Amino acid sequence: MAQPVRGTQSLVGQMGWVFARPVLTALEVGWRWLVGLPVLAVCWIEGQRILKAVPPDSAGLTGINTQNPWVAAVQLDHAWQMYRPELVAVLGWLVPVAATAWVVISGLGRSVVLWKLAQASGRAMQMRPKGLMGMMVLQAAWLVVFGATVGAWVWAMDWVGATHIAAGSLPGGEPDLIGYSMWAIFLSLGFYTAWALVSWPVGIAPVLMVLEECGPMQALGRSVRLGRAFTSKVVEINLVMGIVTMALMVLAMVFSAAPLPFSDQLGTDALHDIGAVSVLFYVLASDYFQVVRVKSFVEFTREFRGLHSADAR
């Protein structure tokens, strides 16, 4: 019988194990940015095109009243309404293309990371075309859940903007910035937590498919029938990793904002360099913890499903 152990108690050990094998993090960073860099390049090109089609002057962005936040909110809402049709048109073709690229490359990348992880743990694992296709199916399932969560958040934020900014909910038709801010914080944290709570089945399904040598649909079915003890560990790890990701975001923002009081002495270029380093830190740390999550799922699967590990210490 599996010995009772909290998910977070094993996390430090998994962090050390992954840190001692940087090739795993390098592979994770590599496949993610194989998708991310081209998508960012397309976003940059399309953003420049949109700014030429709707110049900031005509959208009113250059005349934002920085002294009056209520007036500025209305001005920003007006600018958003002008840019919105252009953005929707771009997203209409960019999202399906980026999603397809993500499914294919993430399926290959996740398979390679799991293969190297199993190899480093002393467990043989073969990469087969059927298994790669199954991994792509599971990555598509992950993307559907993620897209549904993001879509619900966007819809909720659109409702908040329409009821507190565009329409104006204060006497005289002024925008309710305090109410909008409260709703924005509440909904953002709420949907972020909801994602951590509902995404664990599609997170552990690839591990189940590989370790138990089953199909993608079987893995999804098994992921929601893990048993109470196993499920609690997976949910705990998922929540902790969500908190870690948020902490990394805050830490990166603090790093990039800390030199602002010394901007006159450092200069603009130095501030840009510090900002770039902060982004790089977040990317590397976030991908490192993604591997830690996968490693934790692997070890809990072995623990609760009766699979034995032969980790190379």
Of 101, 124, 131, nearest in space to 208 by CA: 131
The rounded Cα 86 to chain-centroid distance in angstroms is 25
Residue 18 belongs to a domain: yes
| DSSP category for residue 165 | I
Q: Are 91 and 5 in contact (CB under 8 A)?
A: no
For residue 238, is it within any domain?
yes
Judged by average pLDDT, the poorest of 83-87, 92-96, 163-167, 214-218 is: 163-167
**Residue 171, domain member (yes or no):** yes
In this structure, how many other beta carbons lie within 10 angstroms of the beta carbon of residue 78?
13
- Is the distance from CB of 215 to CB of 138 less than 8 angstroms? no
| Residue 248's pLDDT band (cuts 50, 70, 90) | very high
Q: Is residue 313 part of a domain?
A: no
- Between residues 184 and 124, the one the model is more confident about: 184
pLDDT band at 1 (very low <50, low <70, confident <90, very high): very low
89: tokens are: 């048109």
Does 128 fall in a domain?
A: yes
| Alpha carbon distance 178, 202 (integer Å) | 37
Burial of residue 139 (CB within 10 Å: 0-12, 13-18, 19+) is buried
Q: Region 117-128: what's the mean pLDDT? A: 70
Compute the distance between CA of residue 72 and CA of residue 66 in angstroms, rounded to an integer. Answer: 7
Cα(216)–Cα(51) distance, integer angstroms = 43
Residue pair 82/59 in contact (Cβ under 8 Å)? The answer is: yes
Query: How far is it, in rounded angstroms, from Cα 171 to Cα 203?
Result: 48
Domain membership of residue 89 (yes or no) is: yes
Does the pLDDT value for residue 311 go beyond 50?
no
Residue 267: per-residue pLDDT: 74
Average pLDDT on 100-107 reads 94
Residue 48 lies in a domain: yes
Residue 285 has pLDDT above 50, yes or no: yes
Burial 293-305 (b: 16+ CB within 10 A, else e): bbbbbbbbbbbbe
Among the listed residues 307, 151, 146, the one whose alpha carbon sits nearest the alpha carbon of residue 242: 146
> In whole angstroms, what is the distance from residue 89 CA to residue 275 CA?
31
For 234-248, give one letter per residue: b (16+ CB within 10 A) or e. bbbbbbbbbebbeeb
The pLDDT-based confidence of 56 (bands split at 50, 70, 90) is: confident
Query: Average pLDDT, stretch 243-270?
Result: 83
- For the chain, where are the alpha helices, taking DSSP H only? 7-19, 22-53, 56-59, 69-120, 129-161, 177-198, 200-211, 216-223, 228-257, 263-266, 268-304
Question: Which SS3 state, helix, strand or coil, does residue 33 take?
Answer: helix
Decide if pLDDT at 207 tops 80: yes
Sign of the alpha-carbon dihedral angle for 290, 25, 275, 260: positive
With beta carbons less than 8 A apart as the criterion, state whether 83 and 54 touch.
yes
Res 309: pLDDT: 47
pLDDT of amino acid 41? 95
Token digits of residue 16: 């050390």
Distances (CA, A) of 303 to 14, 70, 247: 14, 56, 29
Q: What is the pLDDT of residue 104?
A: 94
* Residue 282 within any structural domain of the chain: yes
Residue with tokens 């795993």: 24
Return the higher-pLDDT residue of 263 and 167. 263
| Domain around 223 | 7-304
Q: Judge whether residue 64 has pLDDT over 50.
A: yes
Kindly state the tokens that stand for 95.
């999202």
Residue 286 has pLDDT above 60, yes or no: yes
For residues 223 and 258, which has the higher predicted lDDT (pLDDT)?
A: 223
Counting the structural domains of the chain, the total is 1
**Which pLDDT value is given to residue 155?**
92
**Distance separating alpha carbons of residues 269 and 116, to the nearest angstrom:** 39
pLDDT band at residue 196 under the 50/70/90 scheme: confident
